[in-house]
Amino acid sequence: MSDAIRLGVHPARSDQGDQASPNGGRLPAYVPREIDDALRTAVAHEVFVLIVGESTAGKSRSAFEAMRAVLPSHRLAVPVDRSAVIPLVEYVSRLTEPAVLWLDDLECFLGLDGLSPQLLSELTARPEVIRVATIRSSQYQRFTARREPAGDEQERTAWRASRDVLQRAHICSLDRIWSPQELEAASSFAEDPRIARALRHTHAFGLAEMLAAGPELLEDWQAAWEAGTHPRAAALVAAAVDCRRIGLDEPASRELLEELHHHYLAARGGHALRPESLEEAWHWALQPVHGASSLLLPSGTGAHSARFIAFDYLVDQPHQATIPAETWDIVFQHASTNQIPRIAGKAQWHQRRAFHQAFDAGLLESVFLRASALADRHRYAEAIALLSRELERQGDDAGGDPLEYNRSLRHNIAFYTMLMGQPGDAEAAFRALLAEYEALLPAGDEGLHVIRHNLASCARRRGDLADALDQFRALLADREVHLGPTAMNTLDTRRVIACIVAAMGDLDEAVRQAREVLELEEAHLGPDHINTLETRCCIADFLARTGDHTAALEALDACLPDLVRTNGREHPVVLDAKWQRATSLWENGQRAEAQGEFAQVLAIRDRRYGPDDPTTRQARTELTLLRSRQQP
């Protein structure tokens, strides 16, 4: 294979007149990198080599040159997508000659339905089949021990399987920013005007980054929103970028992107932007910048059967806008059975309304996802019954590890038992699980921390706040070491500590702590993350309990639209926030408005959960006490 571009190498930008350069093709001569010797040694002696680096660092090109230098006569096997991995591995396993399994953007091939630990084990009998892969740093970091997800057990099981695959690889890291020695070596290739031009910008960007036109493509996309330029194309690109952010890591169909782009275009001004025709938009979005990469990369054949994926440089940009609710709904409708669990896992943390809509439509096959949807609606008994039936059935979908599947079911049953108001029973189950996991997992594993978190929550729900606070503080110290100070679960622990501090009476300190957590969550999780929104509600609650109901109302009025957009109008967290708002209205003397809000929330609770639901009964009790305090 001599065509590196077909294997995922970004072509280089080329200006008019560059065709006279010594290497007039779409790729310039390869400029040696400091990683080369180590990488080529690894490709020659290891069976699984993974190159890690930021988008446009030059990973694919360095891997390609190493493969071409060390394994020139090997057969090359390249899967087109995740579904092709298993049959392709079966094929290369039958070959009599040596082969290379090329996995550019490895994250697109990971999963129990793709490259799994079991599949890698099957290849151990064929050491002459070399696996060469690349992965972006942002994706690699998803699977480190510091990033274990806090979603449902199926998500954690899939994450652990992917982590196990990565742990079997020999890692070679490649920096996006080139070293002075590398730039000096590049200067000897400056007769190629493409390299000479890129060298002028290496004070801010990497050389490969400039050759691939990454910064220029980003600037073009942002400028395209201007009225009368290419706003429809910008909307198509925005749709493709958000598809990848949602978890759709495979190319999206033309039909899906065209359906999505209308919402992005309307949100930016619609007809006022004087958008170009759809065909013009596609032409512009697919047009390579100076012969380099394009904003959208095609995959497949045919004008309307082709699929497209956003240039990964755009996906990895920080501080991106909240993904529109319509995008989640439409992507769920178009997603395949294999894609839905990944999208649902993201939706649980960023768009619960869409998650529940997918559940109601029968799109969630995973027993863990369905139980999570039931519990999120406070239907704990139904969630426990669902998981218990699965436990009795012994789980035919255990993903190759029946014992782990069994423990995952028991963990979730214990968790929902705790939420249902039975912390004593849950605590006993968690202690049994902790003993089992301590024999299996290394100290500091996040799986142990999750169970410890739940044990501390049981103490809190039993009313033993001092013991709960001690447990959470010890857990926080461990999570800060093993996860890092800005990880989701670390910040979650800090928020719970603030809540306990508030319950113990130090409201000013609780507000201070919660505001610190909120600032970090907004920066590292995003403003639409459910944990970020929960922290905002906690702050409003603390302010109300200090007696500052005006400040509490301001906080709630700012938060409620985001809560509704993310969760839906009748989700329990929305009803709780509205009840909290009605209480502050009442305390502020705005009785008529408060009465209307109380009545509205109670009517929804009666209809959705029934008059005997614990939260409904508690709401009625609180309202009775509130009214009695106002009587002379």
pLDDT digits (tens, 9 = 90+) for 195-250: 887 788 776 667 777 777 777 888 899 999 999 999 999 999 999 999 999 988 88
φ and ψ at residue 349, rounded to 5 degrees: -100, -15
19 has pLDDT over 50: no
How confident is the model over 348-353, as a mean pLDDT?
Answer: 94
Residue 175 tokens, joined: 């920096």
Residue with the bigger pLDDT between 322 and 398: it is: 322
Q: Residue 275 carries which DSSP code?
A: -
Residues 6+ apart with CB under 8 A from 197: 15, 210
| Single-letter residue type at 125 | A
pLDDT higher than 80, residue 138: yes
Q: Looking at residue 21, what is its pLDDT?
A: 43
What is the pLDDT, as a whole number, of residue 301? 53
Please state, in angstroms and as integers, the Cα–Cα distance from residue 182 to each residue in 33, 41, 174, 538, following that order.
6, 19, 12, 51
401-408: long-range contacts, CB 8 A cutoff, minimum separation 24: 401/157, 404/157, 405/157, 407/433, 407/436, 407/437, 408/153, 408/154, 408/156, 408/157, 408/368
Examine the pLDDT at 14 and tell me if it is beyond 70: no
Residue 22 pLDDT: 43
Q: Label residue 149 left, alpha or beta by phi (over 0 means left) and psi (-120 to 50 means alpha).
A: beta
Q: Which of these, 260, 266, 267, lies nearest to 240 by C-alpha position?
A: 260
3-state DSSP of 89-138: HHHHHHCCCCEEEEECCHHHCECCCCECHHHHHHHCCCCCEEEEEEEEHH
Given a cut of 60, whether residue 34 has pLDDT beyond it is yes
pLDDT tens by residue, 353-396: 999 999 999 999 989 999 999 999 999 999 999 999 999 986 55
Predicted confidence at residue 126, as pLDDT, reads 82
Does 23 have pLDDT greater than 60? Answer: no
Query: Between 567 and 118, whose confidence is greater?
Result: 567
Closest CA to 342 of 144, 533, 152, 532: 152
Whether residue 121 is predicted with pLDDT greater than 60 in this model: the reply is yes
Q: Is the pLDDT of residue 352 over 60?
A: yes
User: Tell me: the pLDDT tens digits for 508-529?
Assistant: 999 999 999 999 999 999 999 9
Long-range contacts of 429-438 (CB under 8 A, 24+ apart): 430/454, 430/455, 430/458, 431/455, 433/407, 436/407, 437/407
Residue 16 confidence class, pLDDT cut points 50, 70, 90: very low
Task: Return the pLDDT at 618.
Answer: 81
Q: Which residues pair with 76 in a beta bridge?
A: 100
Q: How confident is the model at residue 41 (pLDDT cuts 50, 70, 90)?
A: very high
* CA gap 319, 129 in Å, rounded: 41
Q: Is pLDDT larger for residue 306 or for residue 168?
A: 168
Counting residues of the chain whose pLDDT is more than 90, the rounded percentage is 60
What percentage of the chain reaches a pLDDT higher than 70? 92
Can you give the pLDDT at residue 630?
A: 61
Which pLDDT belongs to residue 202?
A: 76
Model confidence over 56-93: pLDDT tens digits? 888 999 999 999 999 999 999 999 888 899 999 888 88
- Residues 332-348 have a mean pLDDT of 90
Give residues with Cβ within 8 angstroms of 268, minimum separation 6. Answer: 225, 231, 234, 235
C-alpha distance from residue 23 to each of 18, 27, 102, 193, 202 (Å): 9, 7, 26, 10, 21
Question: Residue 614: is its pLDDT beyond 80?
Answer: no
pLDDT of residue 81: 85
Give the per-residue pLDDT at 65.
Answer: 94
Using one digit for the tens of pLDDT, what is the confidence trace for 593-608?
998 999 999 999 888 8
What's the half-sphere exposure (Cβ side, CA atoms, 13 Å) at 392?
5
Per-residue pLDDT for 480 more than 80? Answer: yes
pLDDT greater than 90 at residue 153: no
User: Helix or strand or coil: residue 88?
Assistant: helix
Confidence of residue 306 (pLDDT cuts 50, 70, 90): confident
Tell me what pLDDT residue 610 has: 79
Report the mean per-residue pLDDT for the chain: 88
Give me the mean pLDDT over the 552-574 stretch.
96
pLDDT of residue 632: 45
Task: Tell me how far CA of residue 283 lies from CA of 98, 270, 293, 385, 552, in angstroms.
Answer: 41, 20, 14, 53, 51
Selection from 181, 244, 171 nearest residue 207 by Cα: 181
Least confident of 170-179, 297-306, 474-483: 297-306
Q: Is the pLDDT reported for residue 263 higher than 70?
A: yes
Q: Indicate the angle between helix axes 352-360 and 340-350, nearest 10 degrees.
A: 140
